[in-house]
Amino acid sequence: MKAFAYVSPATAQDALAALKAGGIVRPLAGGQDLLARMKDYVETADTLVNVKQALDSTVTPAAGGLRIGAAVTLDALSRNAQVLRLYPALAEAAGKVGSPQIRHQGTVGGNLNQRPRCWYFRQEEFVCFKKGGNRCFSVDGENQYNAIFGNDGPSKIVHASSLAVPCVAYGARFVIAGPNGEREVPAAEYFTLPTMQNVKKENILGDDELLTHVVLPAPGRIRSGHYEVRFKESRDWPMAFATVVVTTRGGVVDSARVVLGAVAPTPWRSEAAERALVGKPLNAASAEAAAEAAVVGAKPLSQNAYKIQITKTAVTRAILDAAGLKA
């Protein structure tokens, strides 16, 4: 690994100041992603700014919802009583990440900002669009784990964060601190589809900014469900997953949010699946109809058409989970 400077500021303000050290400066949280990339020479940094002391590591009530600090670990998130009660899909997603060791070390901020897992991105030798090159190797190469939606742009990654999907489904807002103060954006607007102009990034965060909090709105009368399809019981990332958030009135769905994971470069909201659910009772028939609707328009690459079927399974089972009929 290339030598680097290391600073460990005590406050968010000092961390933001440290990001301006000059050269390549990166925030370091649990290091589960960043240090692995540095060891593999996929990323080189001149300075690492440890943000674990500088950022909030608590979950606190906020206007009927919750405010989750970026330095909260995935393990703490998955076990937090309020998260389990109000936003069970988020707790489940956090509790399924990797292994106990990874969940103890990894943080909310690091999980949401982790870089893609595309095999070519992770190999030093392949200088693809995401690393400043002029081609995407997955187009004619190994693309079984790549996107089936939103893959018209230069990069065909799937977003790697398991937390991003329930955050979008629950209507979370992300709080960002930067040199000019604080800004807040809906989670759905944080993540970006690749274009030639922004292909090296997966979100709107500037190099001089930090994600400081996730704010979850008061849940009201929502019911939610989550389902991940993984390779056997592997610790690897899910191959497709879904979070579903619904409200019902008079026995039928009156609002729905269906968000898919591991199928697109961003958490992928399926408005077609949501339309298929609204006005219907929550049961196996409506779940299957919504799952069929969710995959209309999928454009698989040469090796990942199997993802259409497992995406349908994930949507069906997430809806049954929301209905209290977990498969």
Ligand X SMILES: Cc1cc2nc3c(=O)[nH]c(=O)nc-3n(C[C@H](O)[C@H](O)[C@H](O)COP(=O)(O)OP(=O)(O)OC[C@H]3O[C@@H](n4cnc5c(N)ncnc54)[C@H](O)[C@@H]3O)c2cc1C
> Count of H helices and E strands in the chain?
12, 12
Give the side-chain half-sphere CA count within 13 A for 39.
Answer: 6
Stretch that binds ligand X, among 22-30, 264-272, 284-292, 313-321 (CB under 6 A): 22-30
Distances (CA, A) of 25 to 11, 16, 220: 17, 11, 41
Q: Which is nearer to ligand X, 160 or 187 (CB)?
A: 160
Angle between helices 284-294 and 306-322 (to 10 degrees): 140
243 binds ligand X (CB under 6 A): no
Task: Decide if 258 contacts 234 (C-beta within 8 A).
Answer: no
129 binds ligand SF4 (CB under 6 A): yes
List the one residue from 96, 130, 159, 312 that touches ligand SF4 (CB under 6 A).
130
Mask 139-178, x = binds ligand X (CB under 6 A)? ---------------------xxx----------------
Q: Which is nearer to ligand SF4, 129 or 190 (CB)?
A: 129
- b/e map 200-230, b = 16+ CB within 10 Å: eebbebeeebbbbbbbbeebeebbbbbbbbb
Q: Which is nearer to ligand X, 10 or 220 (CB)?
A: 10
- Least distance from ligand SF4 to the Cβ atom of residue 156, Å: 4
Which of ligand SF4, ligand X, none interacts with 136 (beta carbon under 5 to 8 A by kind)?
Answer: ligand SF4
Amino acid at 94: A
- Least distance from ligand SF4 to the Cβ atom of residue 236, Å: 17
List the one residue from 9, 80, 83, 121 that touches ligand SF4 (CB under 6 A).
121
- Least distance from ligand X to the Cβ atom of residue 38, Å: 9
Distance CA 116, CA 299 (A): 20
Shortest Cβ contact with ligand X: which residue?
A: 110
DSSP codes joined into one string, 295-319: TTT----TT-THHHHHHHHHHHHHH
Closest CA to 226 of 304, 326, 98, 158: 326
Question: What's the chain's length in residues?
Answer: 327
Closest CA to 214 of 94, 103, 34, 117: 94
Task: Decide if 255 contacts 246 (C-beta within 8 A).
Answer: yes
Q: Which is nearer to ligand X, 154 or 166 (CB)?
A: 166
Q: Which is nearer to ligand X, 200 or 221 (CB)?
A: 200
- Least distance from ligand X to the Cβ atom of residue 101, Å: 9
Which of ligand SF4, ligand X, none interacts with 148 (beta carbon under 5 to 8 A by kind)?
Answer: none
Q: Which residues bind ligand SF4 (CB under 6 A)?
A: 116, 118, 120-121, 128-130, 136-138, 146, 155-157
